[in-house]
Amino acid sequence: MNIKFQEITIKNFKGVLGERIIRFNPEMTQILGANHTGKTTIMDATQWLLFGKNSDGATNFGIDPKDEKGNIIHHLENEVSIDLKRDGSALTLTKIRTETWTKPRQKNEEVMSGHTVSYFVNGDKYTETDYKLYIAGMISEGLFRTITNPMYFPSLKPDDQRILLIKMVGETSPEQIAGDNEDFK
């Protein structure tokens, strides 16, 4: 399967207040910058959209934008959307997290009671289960992390490295390695 990112749109996610759009070069895109300029935010947004985790593999991490005092800015939707080509066909994946507010009895003010997450493929709403199955049918989390994070592969156990390498390039039999070389036979 051939997957090429075209563009990512990040809205109200971690250090991105408002909207940031990154267009990818069809050949290669390098994300470079000084500390605290958003490199990890881009990777976290991508991982969150695809696998519900950040770039370190954590499922529980802060995605809410904060003000200059470090307080969460409420009443904002967190949204990440990626336009990509999958085997030449256009595809848009979108994930939106919305705060849920309720007004308890005998109280004057609403309180945040949680979040709702919505999943979309080409604008069609999916359940969380169906969305996860759709993504898993495209690419595994381990393979994605291997090809997008240079620190991931060396952190794996040797057996897990071998499994991923075989998934990427296939397995070669001892007979294929020996070929016509009589010394190897």
pLDDT at 123: 97
pLDDT at 134: 97
pLDDT tens per residue across span 30-39? 888 888 888 8
- Name the pTM for this structure: 0.83
pLDDT at 52: 96
pLDDT at 45: 96
Give the closest residue to 50 by CA, choosing from 116, 114, 5: 5
pLDDT tens per residue across span 45-96? 999 999 999 988 899 999 999 999 999 999 999 999 999 999 999 999 999 9
The CA distance from 100 to 102, in Å, is 7
Query: 49 with 43: CB under 8 angstroms?
Result: no
pLDDT tens per residue across span 123-177? 999 999 999 999 999 998 988 888 888 888 898 899 988 887 887 788 888 888 7
The CA distance from 149 to 185, in Å, is 39
Query: 105 with 35: CB under 8 angstroms?
Result: no
